[in-house]
């Protein structure tokens, strides 16, 4: 059953404040999240992710549309339940820890505000610290912690009140690559053990794919697609999602319109072979997404020129030229000479 529902959610900050681009920050976003879902909200900077999160939290009121939690209406253009009455917690990019408090005091602060102290306070703080593996550092001050540890304090503090919904705004943006990987593990465990519904904002598609049960892609205030990671990777809707998720190349190919979106080598070979005859054949050009793992060397392939072959450790990344200005990304287990003409087969393509 859907738990958190966004219903035609719109936020227009007004022409004067939206830096003249004239469009609402968030436009007509509808989304239904089931209990314990882990949604990654993905999109380029400025597409409206933070604004969606702030509306869910109650820091921002929609100009149109509504937000429901179960059958309880949290916000619409007329009324909005204040943030502290939503049983949600938001983790900010900046962590926002109190420098003069210890780790335990920081984590326990939301409990204190709610009038919880003594043994119950200690028990809840202890559990939250254990969950993010910070028990040993309970008496430290934030200034004596690494970036990753501070992030875990912020997580524990948001967990301690046992919120129904946890909202995270680019929580790993300030950490280096190595730490981000380690923290992804913490987030997964956090999600599993807390049982909270999570909305996780990021502009990093690899992070979104690795963490989430569902990925929502936004662009220019609009929601383009919501689907589980494997589905959005295999079946992206349109050029923006196709270009944003995973590696791949978008080719313009003459493919007959027959409703088929999953294209195999026979169709793709014919399309590649008939590129010169566009117009005469009557086939219209389609955008076809090709993933590098679907491009293989093969004797019955089409000749392509190797423009670049870059060593990536476990394999080589190829940049292939189709001869008509179009390029194709591929992988190879062996090095190929740059400039060589090599036959390649495209085993699968997806019409966007």
> 162: how many CB neighbours lie within 10 A of its CB?
14
Q: How far is the CB of 90 from Mg ion (least distance, A)?
A: 12
Residue with Cβ nearer ligand ADP (18 or 36): 18
The mark string for 84-123 relative to Mg ion (x by CB under 5 A, - otherwise) is ----------------------------------------
Q: How far is the CB of 38 from ligand ADP (least distance, A)?
A: 19
Q: Where on the chain is the footprint of ligand ADP (CB under 6 A)?
A: 13, 17-19, 25, 43, 45-51
- Residue 219 binds what, of ligand ADP, Mg ion, none (CB under 5 to 8 Å, by partner type)? none
> Contact between 50 and Mg ion (CB under 5 A)?
yes
Distance, CA of 274 to CA of 280 (rounded, Å): 10
Q: How far is the CB of 212 from Mg ion (least distance, A)?
A: 17
Of 14, 12, 13, 53, the closest CA to residue 31 belongs to 53
Q: How far is the CB of 171 from ligand ADP (least distance, A)?
A: 13
Q: How far is the CB of 47 from ligand ADP (least distance, A)?
A: 4
Residue with Cβ nearer ligand ADP (105 or 220): 220
Q: Which residues contact 210 (CB under 8 A, 6 or more apart)?
A: 184
Distance, CA of 255 to CA of 263 (rounded, Å): 9
Residue with Cβ nearer Mg ion (50 or 194): 50
Q: How far is the CB of 7 from ligand ADP (least distance, A)?
A: 19
Residue with Cβ nearer Mg ion (50 or 225): 50
DSSP code of 235? S
Cα 296 from chain centre: 29
Residue with Cβ nearer ligand ADP (50 or 66): 50
Number of residues lying near Mg ion (CB under 5 A) = 1
- Residue 97 binds what, of Mg ion, ligand ADP, none (CB under 5 to 8 Å, by partner type)? none
Q: How far is the CB of 1 from ligand ADP (least distance, A)?
A: 28
Q: Which residues contact 103 (CB under 8 A, 6 or more apart)?
A: 129, 134, 137, 138, 139, 140, 141, 142, 145, 153
For 199, phi then psi, to 5°, come to -120, 120
Distance, CA of 292 to CA of 159 (rounded, Å): 40
Distance, CA of 293 to CA of 342 (rounded, Å): 17
Residue with Cβ nearer Mg ion (4 or 25): 25
Q: How far is the CB of 285 from Mg ion (least distance, A)?
A: 36
> Contact between 186 and Mg ion (CB under 5 A)?
no
Residue with Cβ nearer ligand ADP (17 or 72): 17
CB-based contact 326:267 (threshold 8 Å):
no
With CB under 5 A as the contact rule, which of the stretches 28-36, 49-57, 108-116, 211-219 interacts with Mg ion?
Answer: 49-57
Residue in the structure block whose two tokens are 């970036």: 147
Residue with Cβ nearer ligand ADP (194 or 225): 225
Distance, CA of 202 to CA of 112 (rounded, Å): 31
CB-based contact 141:149 (threshold 8 Å):
no
Distance, CA of 40 to CA of 208 (rounded, Å): 5
Distance, CA of 8 to CA of 195 (rounded, Å): 27
E strand or H helix at 272, and its extent?
helix 265-273
Of 259, 286, 260, the closest CA to residue 271 belongs to 286
With CB under 5 A as the contact rule, which of the stretches 12-20, 44-52, 147-155, 241-249 interacts with Mg ion?
Answer: 44-52
The mark string for 299-318 relative to Mg ion (x by CB under 5 A, - otherwise) is --------------------
- Residue 249 binds what, of Mg ion, ligand ADP, none (CB under 5 to 8 Å, by partner type)? none
Catalog residues that contact Mg ion under the rule CB under 5 A: 50
């Amino acid at each position: 059953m859907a738990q958190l529902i966004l219903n035609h959610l719109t936020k227009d900050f007004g022409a004067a404040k939206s830096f003249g681009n004239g469009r609402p920050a968030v436009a007509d976003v509808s989304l239904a999240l089931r209990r314990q879902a882990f949604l990654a909200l993905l999109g380029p900077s400025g597409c409206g992710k933070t604004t969606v999160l702030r509306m869910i939290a109650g820091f921002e009121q929609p100009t149109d549309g509504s937000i429901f939690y179960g059958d309880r209406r949290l916000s619409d253009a007329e009324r909005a339940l204040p943030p502290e009455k939503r049983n949600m917690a938001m983790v900010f990019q900046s962590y926002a820890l109190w420098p003069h408090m210890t780790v335990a005091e920081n984590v326990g602060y939301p409990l204190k505000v709610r009038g919880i102290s003594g043994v119950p306070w200690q028990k809840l703080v202890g559990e939250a610290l254990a969950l993010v593996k910070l028990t040993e550092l309970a008496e430290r001050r934030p200034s004596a912690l690494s970036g990753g540890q501070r992030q875990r304090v912020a997580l524990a503090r948001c967990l301690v009140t046992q919120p129904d919904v946890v909202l995270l705004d680019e929580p790993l943006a300030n950490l280096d690559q190595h730490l981000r990987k380690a923290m992804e593990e913490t987030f997964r465990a956090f999600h599993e053990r807390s049982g909270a519904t999570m909305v996780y904002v990021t502009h990093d598609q690899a992070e979104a794919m690795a963490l989430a049960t569902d990925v929502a892609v936004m662009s220019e205030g609009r929601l383009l697609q919501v689907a589980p990671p494997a589905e959005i990777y295999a079946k992206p809707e349109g050029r923006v999602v196709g270009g944003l998720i995973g590696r791949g190349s978008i080719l313009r190919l003459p493919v007959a319109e027959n409703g088929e979106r999953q294209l195999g080598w026979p169709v793709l070979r014919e399309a590649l072979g008939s590129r010169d005859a566009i117009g005469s054949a009557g086939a219209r050009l389609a955008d076809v997404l090709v993933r590098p793992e679907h491009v293989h060397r093969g004797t019955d392939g089409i000749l392509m020129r190797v423009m670049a072959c870059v060593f990536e450790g476990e394999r080589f990344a190829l940049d292939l030229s189709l001869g008509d200005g179009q390029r194709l990304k591929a992988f190879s287990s062996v090095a190929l000479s740059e400039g060589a003409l090599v036959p390649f087969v495209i085993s699968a393509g997806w019409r966007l």
